[in-house]
Amino acid sequence: EVVVVWFRRDLRLEDNVAFYHAVQSGYPILPLFIFDKDILEQFSQVEDRRVQYIHEHIVKINDELKKYNSGILCYHSTVSQVFEQLTDNYLIKAVYSNEDYEPQAIQRDREVASFLQRKNIPFYQYKDHVIFRGGEILKQDGTAYQVYTPYAKKWRSLLTENHLFDYSVGLEKALFHHFQSDIISLEQLGYRSSENRKITNEIDLAIISTYDQYRDYPGIKGTSLLGTALRFGTISIRKCVRIALKENDVWLSELIWREFFSQIMYLYPTVEKHCFKSKYEGIKYRNNEEDFLAWCEGNTGYPLVDAGMRELNATGFMHNRVRMVVASFLVKHLLIDWRWGEAYFAQQLLDYDLASNNGNWQWVAGCGCDAAPYFRIFNPTEQAKKFDKDGSYMDKWVPEWRELYYRQPIVEHKFARERALEVFKEGLKEY
């Protein structure tokens, strides 16, 4: 007899709600991870830093569990096949996992739940990835917030000690199913390893405590770099919020943005493909493929835009200020559909998260909930002067930018600005 703990976006043993409850059950725990073939098909590159990141953390959990004569049972298969096999091989008392709010994950979990129900096996799911899930923070009239500021205010007012409980359990107190697990190698999964940079799951207190002062300057290491850890759950959100409350309120407000977009995706799943504000579907984008390629490769002639895209391509990370500038440049200056940029980020970002990426792209494009007004068009040169004053960020990624004959801008700012205003105005009128 075992209880299964199925790890997904929560790749840690510390402060993990599902794992905590499985320990409480008193049955031997069988930890499980599935390299889901249905998901991996979408990660088409052989060097995917995210698959590698997941793999590293599965190995880490396995090494930890070896000390208790156990491990993490690891499959490379489809979810339905794995559960068929597991229920044939083990007497399963229950399956424990943490909730995942992405539309495809919700569908997958529904199918697993009904399969397990047919076998009379309870499927317990817990809130672990967020402090408040979609539907918990609602307006007086019971509807969802579509604007961040009142949402954040309500979020703060509802927060209690209970939401920040530390679910860590001493592993020596847990009962594990005894077995030895050899984790499938990255190569067997069909991937090559590359250098994984810019990822941490440690909170640097010096950075958090000065976050409000330095977060906007890409040349300075002024942000936590915890996006990937939060995405894959190698750090607990409760731990981050506990620290944010003590150290820096502005950092807390960023963690609340993450929950704001998570609830939007959960409550309005059509935003995955469509503008939140439907009249923006009327914008006639130019969608020029050559311009798009120049943007992807960091060859637009605007050094801050190029630096951002080159940083992204080289490391899988881009500073938030620069993400806003490159996204605005793509949508407004080049008049390329935000969905193209969103898809490119989804492919490249280590911290890629469906809800945050989509929410931020729609914010920049003006079509999201609580979005920037369409006539707000960043001037990439002015942004560079303001946020990379000494040019150190651009020096790092585009060393040639100071040369007099640095690449011609692919589009002149003033012209692009006026063209964008015109196209947006027309598109909104016509729809």
Selected binder of ligand FAD within 57, 177, 242, 323 (CB under 6 A): 323
Least distance from C-beta 294 to ligand FAD, angstroms?
A: 18
Rule CB under 6 A: is residue 349 a binding residue for ligand FAD? Answer: yes
**Least spacing, CB of residue 322 vs ligand FAD, in Å:** 9
Within a 10 A sphere around the Cβ of 60, how many other Cβ atoms? Answer: 16
**Could you say whether residue 315 binds ligand FAD (CB under 6 A)?**
no
CB neighbour class for 162 (10 Å; exposed up to 12, middle 13-18, buried from 19): exposed
Give yes or no for residue 234 binding ligand FAD (CB under 6 A). Answer: no
Nearest to ligand FAD of 22, 318 (CB atom): 318
Site for ligand FAD in 371-430 (CB under 6 A): none
Q: Does residue 353 interact with ligand FAD by CB under 6 A?
A: yes
Of 109, 128, 311, 351, the one binding ligand FAD (CB under 6 A) is: 351
Q: How far is the CB of 248 from ligand FAD (least distance, A)?
A: 10
Specify the length of the chain in residues: 431
Q: Which is nearer to ligand FAD, 23 or 325 (CB)?
A: 325
- Phi–psi pair at 390, nearest 5 degrees: -85, 0
Contacts with ligand FAD, 250-269, as mask; x by CB under 6 A: ----xx-xx--x--------
Angle at 212 between CA 395 and CA 341, to 5 degrees: 55
Q: Per the structure block, which two tokens stand in for 60?
A: 């880490």
CB of 385 to ligand FAD, least distance (A): 20
Binding residue (CB under 6 A) for ligand FAD from 304, 327, 377, 410: 327
| 43 lies in the site for ligand FAD, by CB under 6 A | no
Nearer to ligand FAD, 11 or 225 (CB): 225
> Residue 352, interface with ligand FAD (CB under 6 A)?
yes
Judged by CB under 6 A, the residue of 18, 243, 283, 324 near ligand FAD is 324
User: Contact between 248 and ligand FAD (CB under 6 A)?
Assistant: no
Pick between residue 35 and residue 217 the one whose CB is nearest to ligand FAD: 217
> Min. distance of Cβ 33 from ligand FAD in angstroms?
22
CB of 350 to ligand FAD, least distance (A): 9
Provide the minimum distance between the beta carbon of 66 and ligand FAD in the complex, in angstroms, as a whole number: 31
Question: Is position 328 an interface residue for ligand FAD (rule: CB under 6 A)?
Answer: no
Considering the complex, state which of residue 167 and residue 352 has its C-beta at the smaller distance from ligand FAD. 352
Residue with Cβ nearer ligand FAD (252 or 394): 252
Distance CA 332, CA 377 (A): 7
Closer to ligand FAD by Cβ: residue 50 or 55: 50
Give the binding site for ligand FAD (CB under 6 A): 215, 223-227, 230, 254-255, 257-258, 261, 320, 323-324, 327, 345, 349, 351-353, 356-357, 360-361, 364
